[in-house]
């Protein structure tokens, strides 16, 4: 039997960050994970270069049933704080569009950073180690958790759940954290795949299958009202539907049965352009749209109209075409699921947790951090920043 101040289950981004901070405070910490390889989700992230944070991080970049919950942790550990840590470890990095920060070389450098921070803080490791049961005991003088593992019994004063969500089960993702939360009586916001490609009915999509591999910039939106989300990003046609950054972003907001709308010429007043071109002579419609789109898309989209002279088409036809280009509405029939999702939306209801420490209000000593919590970031480094920030908040707040 082993006894610790803190046991952290889950050696991913949030778990290692929390363990390191707790160890630096003098806590006796053990980090447990069922996987054989450390931090596989970090390893594959950002095309192998790890989009480890974003220059600008605000609460509005996150989705939650309680949208204000994340503010405290994010304020307590900012992107600059993590950049400073990266710099101290001598890791070269670069900035891509929209504030996204990546390692110059490899995501392995971020894994090494976290591992070394844990080692320097005296964190002990049990990996691979499966936890089969967690019980909490109370007495007038002490409170502890008892973990049954395949390496023996582990006892701890504080227990941190950093087991992530359901995304990418092929890398070992499980529902361990959600099940444990339910066992201790905590509410769960129903989980579902997020940052995930969208699929369409086979018959509906068949005319567009030949566009697979084609990408273009578009404004993608869903829902209605002044605050309906919209993203201007690349959209990728696939054999089953749509992917690319724009679609991954909107998938986190999309509700089954709702349409998504795409402006396929976001920088153009298409109606004015078509009407003006009509007065300009003999140009074919397909050639004009070829100035904005890949030729394959204009030919597929227009069909027989592609070879029509714009001058021969009635204004009504041109206006209808412009409206369809600027507001193409399609209804997905689903997503590619957790196997292709980058993250899970939903999780432990944040109203059950203390926003400063991530401790369960009804279960002293029990903490939840990272993806298992109902805080889901946009594409672009935000989910890693939530992992760092929630891990640090918890590591600092452990009693």
Domain boundaries, the chain: 2-193+342-397, 198-335
Q: What is the pLDDT of residues 256-277, one digit of tens each?
A: 999 999 999 998 999 999 999 8
Question: Which is higher by pLDDT, 278 or 374?
Answer: 374
Topology of domain 2-193+342-397, per CATH? FAD/NAD(P)-binding domain (3.50.50)
Would 2-193+342-397 and 198-335 be classified into the same CATH topology?
no
Q: What is the pLDDT of residues 129-187, one digit of tens each?
A: 999 999 999 776 678 999 999 999 999 999 999 999 999 999 999 999 999 999 999 99
Q: CATH: 2.40.30.10, 2.130.10.10, 3.90.1150.10, 3.40.50.2300. Which one for 198-335?
A: 2.40.30.10
Q: How confident is the model at residue 282 (pLDDT cuts 50, 70, 90)?
A: confident
Q: What is the pLDDT of residues 78-89, one digit of tens each?
A: 999 999 999 999
Q: Mean pLDDT over all residues of the chain?
A: 95
Supply the pLDDT for residue 119: 98
CA 214 to chain centroid, in Å, comes to 24
Q: What is the pLDDT of residues 200-237, one digit of tens each?
A: 998 889 999 999 999 999 999 998 777 889 999 999 99
Supply the pLDDT for residue 278: 85
Query: Quick check: 387 and 17 in contact, CB under 8 A?
Result: yes
Q: How confident is the model at residue 56 (pLDDT cuts 50, 70, 90)?
A: very high
Whether 328 has a pLDDT exceeding 80, the answer reads: yes
What span, in angstroms and rounded, lies between the C-alpha atoms of 240 and 122?
49
Q: How confident is the model at residue 118 (pLDDT cuts 50, 70, 90)?
A: very high
| Across 37-64, average pLDDT | 97
Supply the pLDDT for residue 138: 79
Supply the pLDDT for residue 148: 98
Supply the pLDDT for residue 140: 64
In this prediction, what percent of the chain has a pLDDT beyond 70? 99
Among the ranges given (118-122, 136-140, 203-207, 380-384), the one the predictor scored with the smallest mean pLDDT: 136-140
Q: What is the pLDDT of residues 97-114, one digit of tens each?
A: 899 999 999 999 999 999
Residue bearing tokens 């209808």: 320
Whether 392 has a pLDDT exceeding 80, the answer reads: yes
Q: What is the pLDDT of residues 289-300, one digit of tens each?
A: 988 889 899 988
Residue bearing tokens 């803080």: 121
Give the contacts of 94 (CB within 8 A, at least 6 positions apart): 101, 102, 104
Q: What is the pLDDT of residues 338-354, one digit of tens each?
A: 999 999 999 999 999 99
Supply the pLDDT for residue 333: 97
pTM comes to: 0.96
């Amino acid at each position: 039997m082993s006894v610790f101040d803190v046991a952290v289950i889950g050696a991913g981004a949030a778990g290692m960050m929390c363990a390191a901070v707790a160890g630096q405070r003098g806590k006796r910490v053990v980090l447990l994970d069922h996987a054989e390889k450390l931090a596989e989700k970090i390893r594959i992230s950002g095309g192998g270069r790890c989009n480890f944070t974003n220059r600008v991080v605000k609460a509005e970049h996150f989705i939650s049933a309680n949208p204000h919950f994340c503010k405290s942790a994010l304020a307590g550990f900012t992107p600059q704080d993590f950049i400073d840590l990266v710099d101290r470890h001598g890791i070269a990095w670069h900035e891509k569009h929209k504030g996204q920060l990546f390692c110059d070389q490899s995501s392995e450098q971020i894994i090494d950073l976290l591992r070394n921070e844990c080692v320097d803080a005296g964190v002990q490791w049990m990996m691979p180690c499966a936890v089969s049961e967690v019980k909490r005991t109370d007495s007038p003088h002490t409170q502890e958790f008892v973990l049954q593992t395949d390496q023996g019994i582990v006892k701890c004063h504080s227990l941190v759940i950093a087991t992530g969500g359901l995304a990418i089960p092929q890398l070992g993702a499980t529902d361990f954290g959600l099940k444990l939360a339910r066992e201790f009586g905590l509410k769960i916001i129903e989980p579902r795949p997020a940052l995930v490609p969208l699929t369409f009915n086979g018959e509906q999509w068949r005319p567009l299958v030949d566009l697979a591999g084609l990408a273009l910039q578009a404004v993608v939106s869903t829902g209605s009202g002044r605050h309906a989300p919209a993203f201007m990003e690349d959209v990728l046609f696939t054999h089953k539907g749509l992917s690319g950054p724009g679609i991954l972003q909107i998938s986190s907001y999309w509700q089954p049965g709702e349409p998504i709308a795409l402006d396929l010429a976001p920088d153009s007043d298409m109606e004015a352009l078509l009407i003006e071109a009509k007065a300009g002579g003999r140009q074919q419609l397909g050639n004009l749209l070829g100035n904005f789109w890949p030729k394959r898309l204009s030919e597929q989209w227009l069909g027989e109209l592609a070879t029509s002279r714009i001058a021969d088409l009635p204004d009504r036809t041109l206006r209808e075409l412009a409206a369809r280009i600027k507001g193409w509405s399609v209804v997905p029939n689903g997503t590619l699921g957790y196997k292709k999702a980058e993250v899970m939306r939903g999780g432990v209801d944040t109203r059950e947790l203390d926003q400063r420490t991530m401790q369960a209000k009804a279960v002293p000593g029990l903490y939840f951090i990272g993806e298992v919590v109902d805080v889901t970031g946009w594409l672009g480094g935000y989910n890693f920043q939530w992992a760092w920030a929630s891990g640090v908040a918890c590591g600092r707040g452990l009693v």
